[in-house]
Chain A
Amino acid sequence: MKRRTLLTAAAASALALGAAFPSFAQDPVKVGFIYVGPRNDGGWSQHHHEAALVMAEHFGDAVELVEQESVPEGPDAERVMTQMALSGADIIFTTSFGYMDQTINVAGKFPDVKFEHATGYKTAPNVGVYSARFYEGRAVEGYLAGHMTKSNKIGYIGSFPIPEVIRGINSSFLHAKKENPDVEMSVVWLNTWFDPAKEADAAQAMIDQGIDVVLQHTDSTAPQITAQKAGNVYTFGQAADMAEFGPMPRISSIIDEWAPYYIERVQAVIDGTWETDNTWDGIGAGMVGIGEVSSAVPAEIKAGAEALTASIASGEYHPFTGPINKQDGSAWLAEGEVADDGTLAGMNFYIEGLTGEIPQ
C-alpha cells in the first residue's frame, strides 16, 4: 500500500516537474511491470522481475522501472494498470494469463500507452502478447520423468485449466509415455499460481500415493522441499532454475528467459517503432532454457535428454508430432503431422492415455 502511495507521489511530482519544465528533451521511458506473485517467489514472478532489472540496467537512465507485485487476477489488476497508465507509464508488461481481459480493457482507455500481456492470446493495436513455448521444455521433462520413475506414477501439479497448462500436461505425458509405456500421470488442480502451503500439500498427497516424479505448474518452491523431505522423489525447477534443490530432488528445470524480449520491446518504444505483436518463442530462440540435468540422472538418459533438447531447438523435431489421439480415442494428428499453433494456443483437451477430466 505504502509503496503504491510512494510511487504515485513520485509519479505526480515527476509529472509536475515535466509540466514545469517542458524543455526537458528526453524523458526516460517509463516501463511498468505487474506481477501475480511476490517478486521473490523463487519462480515465475521472480524471473519476470529479474528480467525487468536486466532490462532496466541495459538502458540505464533512459528507462524508469515501476513494479507492482502480488496483484490478484481480477478487478484489482485493472485498477493497478489504470493507475500505472495514469502516472505516465509508456509501456506496461502484465505478466500473468489472468490479466488478459483487464489488459484489453485498460488498453482501450489509454490508446497511447503500450501494453504487453504474457501468455495470453488477445491483441489490440496497442496490446502485444508474448509467451514462451514451455511445452518444448515439458517434453524434455516428460522424457526424464518417464525414465526416472520407478513406480511408473508421475504427478503434475496444475494451476488453472488454461491452454498453457494443458499443453504442458499433454507434452510431458506424451514424452514420458514414449519412453515408458507403463507410465500413468495424475493431475491435481490447485486453482492458484502461488500458494506454498497448498502446493506442499498437493506434493505430499502425490508422494503418499506412490508418485515418485512430481512436475509442477505453480510458482513456489514448496513442492521441491516436500520432495526433498520425502527422499526418493524427483522434481523439476519451474520458471526459475531452482538449482539449490539439485542434484536431488530437482533433476532439471524449465527456465524462462524474458530479458532479451523486454530489451527488444522497450527499445522499440524508445525508437517509436513499437507495433503490436504475437511472439511465441521456444528453446531455439532462447526464450525457454533447460536447466542443467543433474548428476542424479544416469549419463545415457542425460545424453538422451540433451539430444531431445537439441532436436527441438533446431526445429528438427516438434513435441506434438503425430500419430496422437485425443483422450476419447479420436484422431488428432496423423502419422508425421505436426500440430499447428492455432490448435496449440487454444488447447483444451487431453491426449489419449491421460485419465481424469479437465475442469471447465
Chain B
Amino acid sequence: MDFGGINPVILLASLMVASTPILLAALGEMVVEKSGVLNLGVEGMMIFGAVCGFIAAVETQSPTLGFIAAAAGGALLSMLFGLLTQIFLTTQVPAGLALTLLGTGLASLLGQNYQGMSPPRMPDMNIPLLENIPVIGPVIFQHDAIVYLSLIMVVAIWAVLKFTRVGLILRAVGENHTAAHALGYKVKAVRFAAIGFGGAMAGLGGAYISLVRVPQWTDGITAGIGWIALAIVVFASWRAGRVLIGAYLFGGITVLQLNLQAAGAKVPVELLSMSPFLATILVLVVISARRHGASNAPAMLGRIFHSS
C-alpha cells in the first residue's frame, strides 16, 4: 500500500510523533486562555521544559523523571508570569514576550554542559491486543507513553471544560472575571492554577522534542514551535478537538512535505515548505468561520483583573 514510495501507515505514525509537542503546548495554552489570560511565553516555557527534562533525564537516566522535571520546570517558569500579571498587574503581552526571552536565555545557560549528550531512550509502550489491529495498530497503538498522554489530555480537557464544575468556574473567570469574583470565586487562584497547568504542558511538549523527537539538547531546539501552538489555539477557536486537528494537520503536513521531497515529487520546494502553515491556517479558519468562530474567544482574554 504505497503511494509514490510513501507508506501511509509509517507516515501517519511519524505524524503522531511530530505533532505531539505542538499538541501538548497548545492544549496547555488553551486552558490558560480559557481562564482569560494570554500567555505569549509558550516558546520560552517549552524550551525551558526541554532543557530541564533533558538534564534530569541524563542525570537520573530515567526518561520518566525527565518528563516530570520538564513539567515542573515549565510550571515554575510560568509562575513568574503569574506573579507579574496577577500580583503586580503588568500587561500580559509584554510579560509573555519577556517570558519567552527569559526562557530561551535560561535554557541556553543551563544546557551549556549538556551539548552532544544522549538522553536515555524513552521506551515504546505498545498497547497489547490493540497494537495488532492492521493499519490502526501501528499508527495509533505503538508509541511511547507521552503520545497517549497527549491524546488522553485532549479528551480530559474537553470533558473537564464542558461537564465539570471546575471547568465551569474556569470558563466563568475567563468570560467575566468581575462576576466570577462577585460570586465568590478566587479569580487569581484560578488563573494561577491555569497558568501553572499551561506551563507544565508546554514543558512536557518541549521535553518531548529534546527527549524523544530529536533527541538531543542544542540551543534553540524548539525552533518556534511555541508560536505555532499559540496560533493553533486561536485558529481552533479555543476548542480541544480542533486543537487536535490543528496540531496533527501541522505536524502531518510537516512530515508529509519532507516525505514528498524525499520521494522526488514534482512540487516546488518553496510551496512544500510553506504548506504546513498555509494548510493549517486555511483549514482552521474554514472550520471556525462556519460557526460562531472568533466570537468564541474568552471575553476577558488579556484583561487585567483588579478586585476593587
Q: Is B214 an interface residue (CB 8 A)?
A: yes
Chain B 182-201 per-residue mask, 1 if CB under 8 angstroms from chain A, else 0: 00000000000000000000
Contacts of A314 in B (CB 8 A): none
Q: Is the CB of B209 within 8 A of A209?
A: no
Task: Give the CA-CA distance A229 to B124 in the complex, in Å.
Answer: 12
Q: Is B269 an interface residue (CB 8 A)?
A: yes
Contacts of B10 in A (CB 8 A): 208
B214 touches which one: A155, A186, A197, A244 (CB < 8 A)? A197
A200 touches which one: B5, B214, B219 (CB < 8 A)? B214
Closest CB-CB distance, B30 to chain A, in whole Å?
22
Contacts of A198 in B (CB 8 A): 223
Stretch at the interface among A36-44, A119-127, A253-261, A294-302: A36-44
Total A-B pairs in contact (CB under 8 Å)?
Answer: 103
Q: Could you tell me how many residues of chain B have their Cβ less than 8 Å away from some Cβ of chain A?
A: 39
Q: Is B255 an interface residue (CB 8 A)?
A: yes
Q: Is B296 an interface residue (CB 8 A)?
A: no
Q: Is the CB of A40 within 8 A of B112?
A: yes
Chain A 196-208 per-residue mask, 1 if CB under 8 angstroms from chain B, else 0: 1110111011101
For B115, B221, B261, B263, the residue with the greatest tally of chain A CB atoms inside 10 Å of its CB is B261
Chain A 179-191 per-residue mask, 1 if CB under 8 angstroms from chain B, else 0: 0000000111101
Q: A197-B209, A225-B216 are in contact. Are A186 and B262 (CB under 8 A)?
A: yes
Q: Is the CB of A359 within 8 A of B219?
A: no
Contacts of A187 in B (CB 8 A): 261
Q: Is the CB of A225 within 8 A of B115?
A: no
Chain A 27-67 per-residue mask, 1 if CB under 8 angstroms from chain B, else 0: 00000000000101110000000000000000000000000
Q: Is B268 an interface residue (CB 8 A)?
A: yes
Chain B residue with Cβ nearest A200: B214
Contacts of B100 in A (CB 8 A): none
Task: Give the CA-CA distance A186 to B213 in the complex, in Å.
Answer: 22
Residues of chain A touching chain B, judged by Cβ–Cβ distance below 8 Å, are 1-2, 38, 40-42, 70, 155, 186-189, 191, 194-198, 200-202, 204-206, 208-211, 220-222, 225, 229, 244, 355-357, 359
20 A-B pairs in the complex with CB atoms less than 8 angstroms apart: A38-B108, A42-B218, A195-B223, A196-B221, A197-B209, A197-B214, A197-B223, A200-B213, A201-B14, A202-B262, A208-B6, A209-B259, A209-B262, A209-B263, A221-B216, A222-B216, A222-B218, A225-B118, A225-B214, A357-B266
